[in-house]
Amino acid sequence: MTATIIDGKAVARAIHEEVRREAEELRARGCTPGLAVVLVGSDPASVSYVTAKQRACEEDRIESFGHSLPGDSTQDRVLGLLAELRADDRVDGILVQLPLPRHLDEKVILDAVPVQKDVDGFHAENLGKLGLRDAEARFAPCTPAGVIELLKRTDVAIDGAHTVVLGRSKIVGLPAALLLLRENATVTICHSRTRDIAEHLRRADIIVAAIGKPDFVTGDMVREGAVVIDVGVNRVDDSSKKSGFRLVGDCHFDSVAAKARAITPVPGGVGPMTIAMLMKNTVRAARARLA
Amino acid sequence: MTATIIDGKAVARAIHEEVRREAEELRARGCTPGLAVVLVGSDPASVSYVTAKQRACEEDRIESFGHSLPGDSTQDRVLGLLAELRADDRVDGILVQLPLPRHLDEKVILDAVPVQKDVDGFHAENLGKLGLRDAEARFAPCTPAGVIELLKRTDVAIDGAHTVVLGRSKIVGLPAALLLLRENATVTICHSRTRDIAEHLRRADIIVAAIGKPDFVTGDMVREGAVVIDVGVNRVDDSSKKSGFRLVGDCHFDSVAAKARAITPVPGGVGPMTIAMLMKNTVRAARARLA
């Protein structure tokens, strides 16, 4: 079997298009969706992520409020800014770019983002709501929400499928498992302490790899006809590149693609979905203003 | 292999003893632990649960505040009582006995129990914190917390074990899965939509059965030497009993015990742990007053 390559860029584009239409509609009703993006310090990767998010806002007709604080800002300064944003009616979503400088307490700062504006879905209450199937889950974290969208929009049946999630981080693995459970998948969560990861993977109908190890999943660990979603983004040295590195996923693409029915590439798979889902969460937050 | 029978009553007794000592210590420091128990209506099973919880309070030296409202109480009446209890410094924990009469919105009422007094662990934020391994989980729901205690106090190694949780309810299955993940188990969550439950169960080192189907798990579904925790409590007709019924678990005891290394009986296994963990959560809440 040669795998279908799931085009994350195309799916993300379709979502951005839907978001833009929804934002226009909200604007016409006097409710301009707004996203505040808080950056502390000037880490180059963070600056580039923040820039990409602000550009996406512009394209999707969401107003963006950029707040750059110096890298030596005190915790109180950051909390003060968050208090202002909490009270600001134009701000539907608040995003604090991670990682924060080390002297700041990430947990305290993320807890200061109110649940209603937590478009990153990192608040404990939003995570808990993912698990409570009778509760309305307000915001799912963007990357795992993107994983589900990719599966749905490529017609992968999740209901009843045996899904193995590799990794249990609060940003990807755990919420991905909760979202898959909501969709009636049977879910196995494997992680660094799992004894025989390969054995678990070989039984999966769907694999979601988010373990942060380059080329970890190889073709021999994948059942013929499985669907593989690769969330990993790892830098490996490559002297043939000008930058000196290239990006690879958690899956060894060629050998896995030879077995799988469908697979996401890295880059161009899950990556573009994260910002698309952030935009989607933001218009959702704005719509709640009208309710 | 003939299974060791895990004596839930004995483990629960040990926990009650620890709680009582801790309550005495807190009282000596001027901080009497208090639990408010709210009962709406007079469902006989609910009355008997509430009575058992109040008796446990008495034995464990926790002050109990009983509040019985008529079955036709309005939602506002219940919310008003919860507002009083929220403000009452003597009340460390608030328990709303479920199920509530149908005209009341369970979700709204449980959300009105503040996170800090949610000794049942049913609030979305407390559930989310179970998943965030870097966050302090304030209160785990009592029954799954009891499952973990039983495993630990019978020297079952959870770290690295492959655990299959049967059932995904918000009260047992899902939080049990999150707690097992915290303890570094590899966790598979099976439920009514799972295609081949028996195949999953046969691979488990530890089984936590919470699916609510009498005698569902039979010996042929269990690996030789597995540990089986049976959370199910099901009534089946039995004309030889005065009551006309007997209680059985989700596991067919005799056939499973013939394969397992250890198993909990029903009754006398997980059952007694629930109230013990409720008492433990209550003294924990009281201790937070001193911090």
In this model, does residue A149 exceed pLDDT 70?
yes
Residues of B with CB under 8 A from a CB of A: 107, 123-135, 159-160, 162, 168, 170, 174, 177-178, 181, 184, 186-191, 193-195, 200
Per-residue pLDDT, A291: 81
In this model, does residue A136 exceed pLDDT 80?
no
Local structure of B187: helix, strand or coil = strand
Tell me which chain B residue has its CA closest to the CA of residue A127: B128
For residues B106 and B112, what is the distance between their CA atoms, to the nearest angstrom? 10
Give the residue among A125, A122, A166 at the shortest CA–CA distance from A147. A166
What is the SS3 string spanning A71-85?
CCCCHHHHHHHHHHH
Tell me the average pLDDT across B62-81: 98
Chain B residues within an 8 Å CB radius of A172: none
In this model, does residue B135 exceed pLDDT 70?
no
In this model, does residue A1 exceed pLDDT 80?
no
Tell me the average pLDDT across A88-98: 97
Local structure of A121: helix, strand or coil = coil
- Is B166:B208 a contact under the CB 8 Å cutoff? yes
Q: What is the secondary structure of B190-249 as a DSSP string? A: E-TT-S-HHHHHHT-SEEEE-S--TT-B-GGGS-TT-EEEE---EEEE-TTSSSSEEEE-
Question: Peptide bond preceding A175: is omega within 30 degrees of 0, i.e. cis?
Answer: no
N-term to C-term CA, chain A: 49
Q: In the annotation, is B54 catalytic?
A: no
Tell me the average pLDDT across A141-165: 97
Chain B residues within an 8 Å CB radius of A124: 125-126, 128-129, 131-132, 135
Chain A residues within an 8 Å CB radius of B126: 124, 128
Total-model pTM: 0.95
For B47, B169, B287, the CA distances from B267, given in Å and listed in that order, are: 19, 20, 32
Instruction: Render pLDDT for A237-278 as a digit per residue (tens, 0 to 9).
Output: 999 999 999 999 999 999 999 999 999 999 999 999 999 999
Q: Beta strand pairing status for B186-190 and B162-166? A: parallel
Per-residue pLDDT, B33: 98
In this model, does residue B282 exceed pLDDT 80?
yes
Per-residue pLDDT, B136: 66
- Is A140:A130 a contact under the CB 8 Å cutoff? yes
Query: What is chain A's mean pLDDT, rounded?
Result: 95
- Is B32:B40 a contact under the CB 8 Å cutoff? no
- Is A269:A134 a contact under the CB 8 Å cutoff? no
Q: Beta strand pairing status for A227-230 and A206-209? A: parallel
Tell me the average pLDDT across A127-146: 85
Instruction: Render pLDDT for A38-88 as a digit per residue (tens, 0 to 9).
Output: 999 999 999 999 999 999 999 999 999 999 999 999 999 999 999 999 999
In this model, does residue A133 exceed pLDDT 80?
no
Please indicate whether, in this complex, the C-beta atoms of B186 and A189 are within 8 angstroms of each other: yes
Give the residue among A141, A13, A283, A42 at the shortest CA–CA distance from A51. A42
Structure-model confidence comparison of residues A163 and B1, the more confident one: A163
- Is B209:B197 a contact under the CB 8 Å cutoff? no
For residues A216 and A267, what is the distance between their CA atoms, to the nearest angstrom? 16
For residues B40 and B71, what is the distance between their CA atoms, to the nearest angstrom? 5
Tell me the average pLDDT across A124-128: 90
B272, exposed or middle or buried, with CB in 10 Å at 0-12, 13-18, 19+? buried
Please indicate whether, in this complex, the C-beta atoms of A129 and B131 are within 8 angstroms of each other: no
- For residue B193, give the nearest of A134, A159, A200 by CB distance: A159
The residues, any chain, with a CB within 8 Å of residue B54's CB and separated by 6 or more, are B37, B64, B66
- Is A158:A206 a contact under the CB 8 Å cutoff? yes
ipTM: 0.94
Q: How confident is the model at residue A134 (pLDDT cuts 50, 70, 90)?
A: low
Query: What is chain B's mean pLDDT, rounded?
Result: 95
- Which residue type occupies B30? G
Chain A residues within an 8 Å CB radius of B187: 188-189
Structure-model confidence comparison of residues A133 and B182, the more confident one: B182
In this model, does residue B1 exceed pLDDT 70?
no
Per-residue pLDDT, B291: 81
Tell me the average pLDDT across B66-84: 97
Q: Which of A281-285, B96-100, B126-130, B270-274 has the lowest mean pLDDT?
A: B126-130
For residues A80 and A271, what is the distance between their CA atoms, to the nearest angstrom? 32
Neighbours of B146 (CB within 10 A): 30
Instruction: Render pLDDT for B16-59 as a digit per residue (tens, 0 to 9).
Output: 999 999 999 999 999 999 999 999 999 999 999 999 999 999 99
In this model, does residue A104 exceed pLDDT 70?
yes
Per-residue pLDDT, A132: 83
Local structure of B105: helix, strand or coil = coil
Residue appearing with tokens 């983004």: A233
In this model, does residue B133 exceed pLDDT 90?
no
For residues A168 and B180, what is the distance between their CA atoms, to the nearest angstrom? 12
Q: How far is A121 from chain B (nearest CA, A)?
A: 11
Q: What is the secondary structure of B233-251 as a DSSP string? A: -EEEE-TTSSSSEEEE-SB
Beta bridge partners of B235: B247
Chain A residues within an 8 Å CB radius of B124: 125-126, 128-129, 131-132, 135
Instruction: Render pLDDT for B85-123 as a digit per residue (tens, 0 to 9).
Output: 999 999 999 999 999 999 999 989 998 999 999 999 999
Q: Which two tokens stand for residue B121?
A: 């662990």
In this model, does residue B281 exceed pLDDT 80?
yes
Give the residue from B126, B166, B184, B189 with the most A CB atoms within 10 Å of its CB, the best one to mutate: B189
- Is B89:A100 a contact under the CB 8 Å cutoff? no
- For residue A186, give the nearest of B174, B181, B188 by CB distance: B188
Give the residue among A233, A234, A231, A268 at the shortest CA–CA distance from A5. A268
In this model, does residue A131 exceed pLDDT 70?
yes
**What is residue A251's DSSP assignment?**
B
The catalytic position among B92, B120, B230, B250 is B120
For residues B11 and B281, what is the distance between their CA atoms, to the nearest angstrom? 16
N-term to C-term CA, chain B: 49
**Percentage of chain A lying above the pLDDT 70 cut:** 98
The catalytic position among A60, A92, A118, A120 is A120
